[in-house]
Amino acid sequence: MARLVAPIHGGLVRDGDRLTTPFGHDLLSPLWKGAEIGFLESRRAVEETVAAVLARGWVLGVHYPLVQAHTWDWAPFWLAPSGDERALACRGAREALREASGLGAEYVLFHYPWPALVDPSVDYRTAGWRMPPFAPSEDLWPRERLRELSHRVLAELEEEGERSGMRVILELDGPNRHFFEPSPAADLCQELFTAHPAIWLCVDTGRFDLLARQHGGDPLGYVRRWLPFARHLHLHGANWRRKENHLPPQPEHERRPGYAPAADMARLLLGAHPEALAVLETNPAAGSAAQAARSMRYCAAL
């Protein structure tokens, strides 16, 4: 049975004795085994959320940033144009790991690389991407430069993770062709994670499907290729033909064209790593309460 984790962004919502996430996930469900918190609205929200999670004996994880400062505050600015800014990004990541350790968390998840690298000739909005206004052209980060920087960043994260007793997890961000090469022979992602085994890769089912579409690859093929280090799951449905994401997965999605193969990706990862956590990054409001409950039972059984 999948170990389901509730995503908690913004803060907890109380309605009498009922406690939910802003997405509408009911925290009273016995299926939850943990919570992944991030993008919280204040330090007070951090304290309240951490206390509620630990009181339940759940696994606590952090999705950077713990407190959201601005709209595009998704990750340290690893690919900043200035060396001083890149050093500041790495320092911020180290501080985030130490803070999460002090809170009692088991891991911190960062988006990497950030910001996304864009091809000026591609219409990302039409494809389904929500791109930051400051995303640099991929010409500014040719493969070898990105490779050298990435090895340095991952080595620093490994070192700080070991020092602070924290697991580091990276979620691949943006339509970056260097990481999602259809050819295994040109696979920068595999090179990096193999060289830095203390760092785990997060498979985001909706994002993997969109990235595969963008680069001509196969989302299931990427999961198979990266199974040795893909040990964390962000699980949600998507239909990019309709520009729909964060859908509660349902059994019928497996038979309908256009839907991301979310369940198959989950089965691959959880079959190889039964101890992996499955963060249910869904919006229950996309359907009825009964449909949301049905989806949760379905996901737990994957």
- DSSP state string for 6-21: EEEEE--EEETTEEE-
Residue 95: CB atoms within 10 Å: 13
Question: For each successive 10 residues of the chain (302 residues), what is the average pLDDT?
Answer: 94 84 87 97 96 96 95 92 94 98 98 88 84 87 95 98 98 86 85 97 95 88 96 96 92 93 98 97 87 94 96
Q: What is the pLDDT of residue 7?
A: 96
Q: What is the pLDDT of residue 204?
A: 97
Q: Which SS3 state, helix, strand or coil, does residue 265 take?
A: helix
Regarding beta strands 107-112 and 18-20, do their DSSP bridges make them parallel or antiparallel, or are they unpaired?
unpaired
Q: What are phi and psi of 94, to 5 degrees?
A: -65, -40
SS3 label, residue 38? strand
Q: Is residue 174 left, alpha or beta, with left meaning phi > 0 and alpha meaning psi from -120 to 50? A: left
Residue 21 pLDDT: 86
What is residue 123's predicted lDDT score, i.e. its pLDDT? 85
- As a whole number of angstroms, the distance between CA 14 and CA 87 comes to 40
- State the pLDDT at residue 116: 84
Handedness of CA 260, 240, 63, 131 (dihedral sign): positive
In this prediction, residue 237 carries a pLDDT of: 96
CB 98 within 8 A of CB 90: no
Per-residue model confidence (pLDDT) at position 17: 76
Q: Where are the beta strands (DSSP E) in the chain?
A: 3-10, 13-15, 18-20, 32-40, 59-63, 107-112, 167-172, 199-204, 230-235, 237-239, 244-247, 277-280
Interatomic CA distance for residues 147 and 55, integer angstroms: 42
* DSSP state letter for 70: S
